[in-house]
Amino acid sequence: MGIFDIFKKEKSNSTSTTENGILGPTFLEESVEHISNPKELHSHEWRRKLKSKNGETFFEIKYYGQLHSDYKNLIVGTDFAPSKIIAVNISDKSEYLLFDGCKHGYNAMFCDKYSDEQINNRIPDKIYHDEKGNSKFELIISTYNGIDYEDDYRDEVDSNGEIELINGQKVDFEKVKRNGFNTLQIWTINENGNKTEIVSEELA
């Protein structure tokens, strides 16, 4: 789609795994594993593979939102509200929140206000299928952390180490730095090994 050209201009930080020192979203912390020999891992990119608590790596995806009118593989928000995407463990049906556009990312934290109706009336009841009809996938998640929170917001942190978001909520500054990413990408890999990008969001 061409929206990530800025990242292509930067030199990749290729390592043997995805451990490059970047901290990812707190809500995914206990549900991911490293990827061996990642391709073109950027210096400000956090990338992991989703893994359930019982060690499984295949999931169904349910979501609130719609498919992009031109790029039918991409889940996007509606005119009413941003998307909400959940991975469901195939075996025990446990759920893992992948993205909530009303809460996650820089814009949702510091720029865009949402009503209680928008936040609460988003039922993730659609099941994602790829172009071949597959609905069970491995999932790769990348967030890009290009915002200098220390430089831009350090003076707004209170004595408790918290910062006030646009909705008035106070949140630990370290948590904000991890969940206030400026770009999100999610890929599926079906049982035949075919990879499809399903989320491509610029959030700042």
Q: Is residue 127 part of a domain?
A: yes
The pLDDT value given to residue 36: 94
Q: Is residue 158 part of a domain?
A: no
The pLDDT value given to residue 99: 98
Q: Is residue 162 part of a domain?
A: no
The pLDDT value given to residue 16: 82
Q: Which two tokens stand for residue 69?
A: 């009118």
Model-level pTM greater than 0.85? yes
Per-residue pLDDT of 3-15, as tens digits, reads 444 444 444 444 4
Q: Is residue 154 part of a domain?
A: no
Our count of domains for the chain comes to 1
The Cα-based distances of 186 to 61, 81, 166 in angstroms read 11, 19, 26
Q: Is residue 163 part of a domain?
A: no
Domain that holds residue 36: 5-138+175-202
- Determine the Cα–Cα distance for residues 49 and 38; give it in Å rounded to an integer: 11
Q: Is residue 16 part of a domain?
A: yes
Residues of the chain with pLDDT under 50: 1-15
Q: Is residue 35 part of a domain?
A: yes
